[in-house]
Every structure is written in C-alpha cells, then in structure tokens.
C-alpha cells in the first residue's frame, strides 16, 4: 500500500463518523493508522462488519484502558514515533485523560494534533452535544436545502464528512507540510460548524451580490429552476439535468424535442412552473434507461439518479474502478488518484496488532506482558 503518505504514522482515538472518515482518508493515502480502542466498547466504533466497513479499513488496532496510568505511559511512548494524532472527543476529555496537546507535544514536539468536534474547542456551544443537522443549521447551510415547506438534511454529508472529516484531513496535510520547514507540530481545531460554514462561501458571496435569495426553492441551484433538478420517468426511476450554460441548454431542448417559445424564455422565472410541468410530462413518457440512451454522454449535463446498488455497476464507474468489491460488498475506492504514488485499497482492519504496535514503540516482551497482566492493554 504505497501512496503519498507512506511513512506517516497516525494515531486515531476510536470514535464514530468524521474521525474515522478522516482516518480512512489518511489510510487510503498510505498512512500507517493505529486505532486506540477503549475496553468494553465496540472494537471498531460502529455496528458494521469490520471486513466490509469502508470507514474501518487500513487500520491496526490496540485496546488500552486509559484509566490506568500504565496505559497512558504506553500511549505516550507510541506517540513519540507518530506524526499525527486524531481525536474526536468533547473539549477537555483528552486533557482529563492526561493526553492533552501540551503533554503530547512535550513528548513529541513535531506531533500534529488533530481535534474533531461539532462546535469547536471554544465558544458558548463548545461543550454541548450535537449532530450534523445541528452544525449545518448554525452555519446557514440547512436553511438553504430542502423544499418550500421545511429544510431537509442532505444526509450527514455536509457537516460530518465534508465540513468535518475532509477539513481535518486538509488541516493535517497542511500542518505536516509546514512541520517539514519548522520542525514543530501544532494543534488543529476542526469544527464541523466552521467547516459547514466555509462550504457555504459561494452562497454567502452570491447573497451579498444580490444573486441569491435567502429562501428555499427560489434559486437556480436549489431545485427551483426547471433545468437544474431531477425528474421521474415512466418506470418510477429518476434522472437529473443541469444544462446551465446556453449552449448546453440549446442542445437539451433540441434532443428533448421541446424547442418551443416557452423554453426560449428560461430566464423568465414566472415561466418556471410551466416549463417544469412540461418537462415532467415529457420525461414521464419514457423509462430511465431510454432517456439515458438519448441524453447520456452528451453535453446536456445529464445523469441517471442511481441507488446504492446501481452506482457501482454503472459503466463509467466500472471503467474507473470507482468502487471495489470487498468481502462481497461494494466500497468506494480511494480518491483522489495520484499519478506516481498510487494508492491501493487498504486492507481490512487488524485487531491482532497490539503486541506489534507496542514493540514498535520500544517495549520489550516482558514490558508488554506486564501491561497485559495489569489490564492496561487488552489482547
């Protein structure tokens, strides 16, 4: 498993959601990720089969009872040879364990200490519980998504994964690059509410310029425009269209055989309900695959709306190996793609690596056995 992060050791404090997703990205890029589990918790932090869980891939696992001083000492030994720590606890938890940034950076001044939270390390809400829908609400994102009646959450893609995990991964890569010049690590405060806010930067800009209305279903990109949305076909399946540019729209109305005066007035928003009704009627005349035959691969900006079973089987995805079958189930393959340091799909997680990880940290067999007998390490 090469990849651009080969040689980088990452210590991940086991968790759920954005922390594991960030660690998955780092493992996908070739990092050696060691997950620290706590006793009497789900080993991999979730209910899924580890063999088929994409978020768990590419890890070695070690279970430490961090309530025991011996485990904290072992943890600090492990961190001495690491470049990155990823943790997703509420603010103050790592400090109370004796593993806060000050102590860890004292043991390893080059350590990049990544902290993933919903609200951030500071601010009035820092210690409050929350989930993706809450974080994107505060960032102004949820208000903009949904139908006229109410906002609808876009799964947990915007807060947990886009605004959280990916921002933390970017922060870690940036801090690793800087540490090569300075020889020093630093702490990364990655808040999902902050990340969701920066994902909204284009829309705040459009709102400031007067080209975005602060109400759902009134803008070109929020589903109001009849030429940027999805339509039901005769078989109940859906397609999506987005011919925003004039030349693409021209091709669209020609291929759809709907080149009427009304469709020439697409910038007149009062005509949008009429255009939508006509397109609904037109798309309902054929099955989804028939529309694919007419429109897919052209410049009309078209795609079938695929479900989780269909997406891995699409010819484009298969040609690019966008998905990989692991233990009989599909997983998204590592991305982005590098021309030289090509990332392979990381292996399934290893839960038998405790002695190996401790030995790499410099503990001899007697020391490892003493930790096991004390209950500080479980294997």
Token pair, residue 211, equals: 């080209």
Catalytic position from the list 28, 32, 132, 160: 160
Going by C-alpha positions, the residue among 16, 89, 102 that lies closest to residue 53 is 16
Q: Is residue 160 annotated as part of the catalytic site, yes or no?
A: yes
- Cis amide bond preceding 336, omega within 30: yes
Catalytic position from the list 131, 143, 314, 378: 131
Going by C-alpha positions, the residue among 108, 106, 114, 109 that lies closest to residue 88 is 114
Q: Which residues of 74-110 are buried (b: 16+ CB within 10 A; e: fewer)?
A: bbbbbbeebbbbbbbbebeebeebebbbeebbeebee
Greatest Cα pair distance, the chain, in angstroms, is 85
Distance between CA atoms of 257 and 122, rounded to whole angstroms?
57
Angle at 155 between CA 243 and CA 317, to 5 degrees: 55
CA distances from 231 to 36, 225, 253, 269, 374 (A): 46, 12, 15, 19, 62
Q: Is residue 143 annotated as part of the catalytic site, yes or no?
A: no
Distance between CA atoms of 141 and 154, rounded to whole angstroms?
10
Catalytic (active-site) positions: 131, 160
């Amino acid at each position: 498993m090469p990849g651009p992060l080969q040689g980088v050791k990452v210590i991940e404090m086991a968790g759920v959601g954005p922390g594991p997703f960030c660690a998955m990205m780092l493992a996908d890029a070739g990092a050696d990720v060691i997950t620290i589990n706590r006793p009497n918790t789900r080993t991999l932090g979730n209910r899924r089969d580890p063999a088929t869980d994409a978020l768990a891939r590419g890890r070695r696992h070690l279970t430490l009872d961090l309530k025991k001083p011996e485990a904290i000492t072992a943890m600090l030994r492990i961190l001495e040879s690491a470049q990155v720590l990823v943790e997703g606890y509420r603010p103050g938890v790592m400090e109370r364990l004796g593993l806060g940034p000050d102590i860890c950076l004292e043991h390893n001044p080059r350590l990049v200490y990544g902290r993933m939270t919903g609200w951030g390390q500071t601010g009035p809400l820092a210690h409050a519980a929350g989930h993706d829908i809450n974080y994107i609400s505060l960032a102004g994102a949820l208000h903009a998504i949904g139908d006229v009646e109410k906002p609808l959450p876009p799964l947990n893609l915007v807060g947990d994964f886009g605004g959280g995990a990916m921002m933390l991964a970017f922060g870690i890569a940036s801090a690793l690059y800087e540490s090569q010049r300075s020889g020093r690590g630093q702490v990364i405060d990655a808040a999902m509410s902050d990340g969701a806010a920066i994902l909204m930067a284009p829309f705040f800009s459009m709102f400031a310029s007067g080209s975005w209305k602060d109400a759902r279903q009134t803008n070109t990109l929020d589903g109001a425009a009849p030429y940027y949305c999805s339509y039901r076909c005769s078989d109940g399946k859906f397609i999506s269209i987005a011919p925003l540019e004039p030349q693409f729209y021209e091709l669209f109305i020609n291929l759809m055989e709907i080149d009427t005066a009304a469709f020439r007035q697409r910038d007149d928003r009062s005509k949008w309900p009429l255009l939508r009704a006509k397109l609904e009627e037109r798309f309902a005349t054929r099955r989804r695959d028939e529309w694919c035959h007419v429109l897919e691969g052209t410049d009309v900006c078209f795609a079938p709306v695929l479900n989780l079973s269909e997406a891995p089987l699409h010819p484009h995805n298969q040609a690019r190996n966008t998905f990989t079958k692991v233990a009989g189930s599909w997983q998204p393959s590592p991305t982005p793609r590098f021309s030289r340091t090509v990332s392979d799909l990381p292996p399934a997680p290893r839960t038998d690596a405790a002695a190996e990880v401790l030995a790499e940290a410099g503990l001899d067999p007697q020391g490892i056995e003493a930790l096991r007998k004390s209950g500080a390490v479980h294997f």
